[in-house]
Amino acid sequence: MVSSRMPIARLNPLVAQRIAAGEVIERPSSVIRELIDNSLDAGSTSITVSVTEGGIEEMRVLDDGSGIAKGDLPLLGESHATSKIRDLDDLYHITSMGFRGEALYSIAAVSSITIASNGYEITIDNGKRGEILSSTTASGTLVIVKDLFGELPARRQFLKRAATEAAMVRTVLQEKALAYPNVAFKLIVDGSLRLNLPVTTAKDRVVDVLTISQRVVKEELTELFDDHGRFSLYAVASSAALWRSDRSHIKIFVNKRPVDEYALVQAVTYGYSNLLPGGSFPYCYLFITIDPSLVDFNIHPTKREVRLRNKAEIHHRVVRMISSQVRRPIPRLQEKKESPSPTLFEEKNDHLRTHSTVGERSFAYTPKEQIDPSWFAKAREALKEPAFETKRTDEEADIWTFQQSDESFTYLGQAFNLFLIAQKGDDLFLVDQHAAHERILYDQVRAKQPIQNLMIPIVFEVERSIDEYLMSNLDSYLNLGIKLRKVEDLAWELLGVPALYRTIEHEVIAFLQTMQGEPSEIEKGLYSVVACHAAIKAGDRIDSTAATELLKSVFALEEPICPHGRTFVIRLNKDDLMTSVGRT
């Protein structure tokens, strides 16, 4: 309702300018992002960023690009003034990083900015333009931004400490550097060189960026490729021997822009689902190059949101590329010595290793020393115990069937917040807690469960191909417990799900937005998604009551195989352990 005391009036141009600038410029890192984009569009091969007091006091970006002609200087800082597009059609074929003509305009509205290029410079102080003057900058471009939000104290008070703002600037620079390995980047913070990334290959650039904060072995990363004509995929991804407890190193780039697109992050995790332990995530830097007519970045001022016309197809190709090109590691066992057989625990470093691939900070729940999976293979060899595999021998099946007796078990505890340890008779069992719980939940969701209506339906959008697929398979999804309703073209509502799904509705929606295929494939895929996301995670601490209940369910299974086909139980026998340490 409009107040009668304040009639409608047109805003002062300076006020309107600063309001608009607030959508683009939030903090120093926003300024750096826009200025680096301009440098990249100018064909720069070297970009140096310098910040003082986190960029709040001053920011400088120097490049060796094509520069700015003197005749263009009067238009710098003007709204909707750009060299990137000329008409509406150009907007749908964008190949440059910038295109709106809003970056310099927004920066100039909330700071004092000086732009020097090709022997001339101009200063715009909080929207007030100065004269064009001579400059010593003969080539390339130097942009100096001072006193950000100096005339907007209400905005300035929301900035973080200088060190935090500087860290955000570094993050922006690293993201740009990952997409442009053919460009050298430097970051200077308060006069000290903090980052120096020379021109290199795409894989080496990923390694260079990763080693800034952690130890990485280059050989643990592999390059993946897929070309589909209208789009191509390239990824630098970890092998199946290297993983994390979170998704923080799954990064998606579309036409060299870092984007936040959950469906594509999900595609990466799906691709690794049969390769990594449950609750673990890879390192994956995925670069998608796509026909500009199939992508729209003009959604949000930061351009981190993207609309892809063929997202479902890209999702499918990403999953297939990863699952077909990333291989399981082959355990490397040391040659047996001629000397008498050592005990399993004779040499600590033979079965315990300090990860040289990832620093301590990358595993929030993992001790500095972690059990090497290959040690279990050594243990089985020493104990003459055949390894559990997805396709097990009749002997192995008999061993597990024998453990389904009514003999009680004792829960001994949890190892590394990863394994549950139980004793049953003369056997010790190590149980992968995530994979075990995932299997139990998978069996539960396969059973028919009543649908519970959501208190507030969730609206989501889909692509045309998915829209048509959902229309054709509404009954199939209803049989799976997914209650949907179409509300308008390309828009749907999730109305109800079984109780077990209630905490992961958004994962279910992401599945609906990307998956299509035969009903049997959809059924298996949906059940796997629900079970995986609802299960106890690797790294979770479990109380003894919950652990005991889970183990009861595990020992009642016909086979200890998770939905991805992996065995999640290791068995060690007392007699064999005694023999291995020289006892009889």
Task: Report, as an integer, the average pLDDT of 250-265.
Answer: 91
CB atoms within 10 A of CB 242: 21
pLDDT band per the 50, 70, 90 thresholds, residue 244: confident
pLDDT band per the 50, 70, 90 thresholds, residue 218: confident
Calpha distance 250→403 (Å, rounded): 40
The more confidently predicted of residues 369 and 250 is 250
Give percent of the chain with pLDDT exceeding 90: 36
Calpha distance 579→556 (Å, rounded): 30
Calpha distance 249→239 (Å, rounded): 14
**pLDDT at 378 exceeding the cut of 50:** no
Task: Report, as an integer, the average pLDDT of 478-496.
Answer: 92
Residues 6+ away with beta carbon under 8 Å from 275: 240, 323, 326, 328
pLDDT band per the 50, 70, 90 thresholds, residue 206: very high
Q: In which order are the strands placed within the sheet that holds 483-488?
A: 451-461, 491-498, 483-488
**pLDDT at 92 exceeding the cut of 80:** no
CB atoms within 10 A of CB 221: 23
- Structural domains in the chain, CATH included, are 13-197 (3.30.565.10), 202-325 (3.30.230.10), 331-383 (no CATH), 400-584 (3.30.1540.20)
**pLDDT at 559 exceeding the cut of 90:** no
**pLDDT at 194 exceeding the cut of 90:** yes
Mean pLDDT (the chain, rounded): 79
CB 174 within 8 A of CB 157: no
CB 172 within 8 A of CB 33: yes
Which pLDDT belongs to residue 430?
92
* DSSP codes, 144-206: EEESTTTT-HHHHTTS--HHHHHHHHHHHHHHHHHH-TTSEEEEEETTEEEEEE-S--HHHHH
pLDDT digits (tens, 9 = 90+) for 276-322: 876 778 999 999 999 888 888 766 566 677 788 888 889 989 999 99
The helices-and-strands tally (H runs, E runs) of the chain is 19, 25
The HSE-up count of residue 101 (CA atoms within 13 Å, CB side) is 14
Calpha distance 430→441 (Å, rounded): 19
Give, rounded to a whole angstrom, the gap between the first and last alpha carbons of the chain.
Answer: 89
DSSP letter for 250, please.
E
pLDDT digits (tens, 9 = 90+) for 148-185: 998 888 888 889 889 889 989 999 999 999 999 999 99
Which pLDDT belongs to residue 463?
82
Give percent of the chain with pLDDT exceeding 70: 76
**pLDDT at 343 exceeding the cut of 60:** no
pLDDT band per the 50, 70, 90 thresholds, residue 334: very low
Question: Which phi and psi angles does 501 have, rounded to 5°?
Answer: -90, -5
pLDDT band per the 50, 70, 90 thresholds, residue 405: low
User: Pick from 505, 501, 519: which is nearest to 441 by CA?
Assistant: 501
Q: Look at the block and give the residue holding tokens 């998704």.
A: 247
Calpha distance 207→242 (Å, rounded): 14
Which pLDDT belongs to residue 36?
96
